[in-house]
Amino acid sequence: MKVVVAVDGAALLVDGLRREGIDVIAEVGAAAPALAATDGMLGTDAETLLRALADADALIVSVSRATMSPSVVAVCDRAGTRVVPLVEDAAGERVAAACGLEAPLSRQAEPWRIAEALSAGPAAAAPPAAQRPQPRVIAVWGAAGAPGRSTVATELAVELARGGRHVALVDADTQAPSLALTLGLADEGPGFAAACRQAELGGLDARELTRIAVPLGRTGVDVLTGINRPSRWPELSDRRVSAALAACRQWVDFTVVDVASSLERDEEIVSDLDGPRRHAATLATLRAADLVVAVVAADPVGIARFLRGHADLRATIGATPVAVVANRLRPGTLGIDARGQVRRTLDRFGGIEDVWFLPQDPRSTDAAILASLPIAEVAPRSPLTLALRRFVGEAVVPAPEPRAMPGRRRGRGSDRGRGAARAVPDVARAGAPVG
């Protein structure tokens, strides 16, 4: 069997594979597959990889957000080469699952184990969406222009808390934090900045997070409020935010994080390479997230801004799944077929096929702001609440498909109901009226 090894520092691995009778025809760096899948960025390793893939039976690659993407998988598929993923941590496992790769092996696995996996054929594929591990950290992002990130984050946290789940709602927006203001919570308290400081000192655990957080009524949501002045942004550094979100994973079932829109990296314009970064909180949250909910305002300006920022978002998060939510949908600015206009525009210019729609509901939104409560608490039957509940059930926490009972015959009425139920997800994405 002929293989290509795309792993950094793989001398011992290559020697071990050759002792097991595996013909290693090329050895390249871990970044070579990603470079080979990017037009105009070929280097020596990438060119070597492309030439070797034509003769290779398998590509052994170290998987991370920087080295693996759907484009890499497409390159291997065109060459008819199997991809054998090696991972170092849970983040690598999530990337492998998102790209549809076979069950990964540990980067520290012995060469004979990898040789056995090569001889045994592809391992079981990643489980379907309903059986995959649920996302623990969910970042809510949107382009500039107030598309409704904070509203979606709040309602998403409340919906996730149904059924007795424990959910944390975190305000990591360093430009215009607003969760405390809209929910009537005091923003002079410790909040997320204090959690970040404790995380850097190694003293952040479940008990400390419970003390710092503010319960949101009886919803089952604990809120970590944001900074009360944008000038305090240096308190939310990359290292602190990453450590605080890691502690949240052990504290609650889901962590919903509201982040700012800006994705600029200022390393090129700051001489102090170790100094604080203006958008470190947003970038660190997006990299730590298991799922990104991208909110787009359903109007011409909002869609244009979103499409410009979507490419930067993808470059930041790599293969992390993204669920696009079109918020404040109304026919006034987009004509009669508002859903169709949004769907076709995002598909044509952004390659975004799946879109979930949230209708504009000013009456319920105004009532929620007046009461300083989530919309789901003020108006449980609001069209916005029902639409978001459907989104959570389809894209965030999908329920397992029901199994048919053996030995029972369905009547005509049951067949019609079954067909209607099967069509619901497609109708929701296609833009059917919600509620």
d(C-alpha 330, C-alpha 346), whole Å: 17
- Whether residues 135 and 122 share a domain: the answer is no
Q: Supply the CATH number for residue 59's domain.
A: 3.40.50.2300
The residue-averaged pLDDT of 419-428 equals 38
- Whether residues 141 and 270 share a domain: the answer is yes
Pairing relationship of beta strands 137-142 and 291-297 according to DSSP bridges:
parallel
d(C-alpha 111, C-alpha 101), whole Å: 20
- Whether residues 96 and 148 share a domain: the answer is no
- Report if residue 415 sits inside a domain: no
- Whether residues 223 and 237 share a domain: the answer is yes
pLDDT digits (tens, 9 = 90+) for 206-240: 999 999 999 998 899 999 999 988 899 999 999 99
pLDDT digits (tens, 9 = 90+) for 164-180: 899 999 999 999 999 99
- Whether residues 245 and 318 share a domain: the answer is yes
- Whether residues 80 and 195 share a domain: the answer is no
Q: Supply the CATH number for residue 238's domain.
A: 3.40.50.300
d(C-alpha 382, C-alpha 378), whole Å: 9
- Whether residues 160 and 86 share a domain: the answer is no
Point out the least confidently predicted range of 47-51, 53-57, 115-119, 422-426. Answer: 422-426
Entry pTM: 0.65
- Residue 268 binned pLDDT confidence (cut-offs 50, 70, 90): low
Please report the DSSP string for 346-389 in residue order.
HHHHH----EEEEE--HHHHHHHHHHTS-HHHH-TT-HHHHHHH
Q: How many CB atoms lie within 10 A of CB 146?
A: 15
- Report if residue 404 sits inside a domain: no
Top-confidence residue, 6 or 139: 139
Which percentage of the chain shows pLDDT scores above 70? 85
> Structural domain of residue 389, as residue ranges?
131-396
- Whether residues 165 and 308 share a domain: the answer is yes
- Report if residue 57 sits inside a domain: yes
Q: What is the DSSP-derived secondary structure letter of residue 235?
A: G
- Whether residues 314 and 378 share a domain: the answer is yes
pLDDT value at residue 403: 47
- Determine the 3-state secondary structure of 233 from DSSP: helix
pLDDT digits (tens, 9 = 90+) for 321-363: 999 999 999 887 777 788 999 999 999 999 998 999 999 999 9
- Whether residues 114 and 150 share a domain: the answer is no
- Residue 163 binned pLDDT confidence (cut-offs 50, 70, 90): confident
- Report if residue 408 sits inside a domain: no
- Whether residues 287 and 142 share a domain: the answer is yes
- Whether residues 79 and 135 share a domain: the answer is no
192 pLDDT exceeds 90?
A: yes
pLDDT value at residue 134: 66
- Report if residue 414 sits inside a domain: no
Phi, psi of 105 (to 5 degrees): -105, 160
Residue burial 269-302, b: 16+ Cβ < 10 Å; e: rest: eeeeeeeebbbbbbbbbbbbbbbbbbbbbbbeeb
What is the number of domains present in the chain?
2
Q: Which of 126, 145, 168 is the last residue of a domain?
A: 126
In angstroms, how far is the first alpha carbon of the chain from the final one? 57
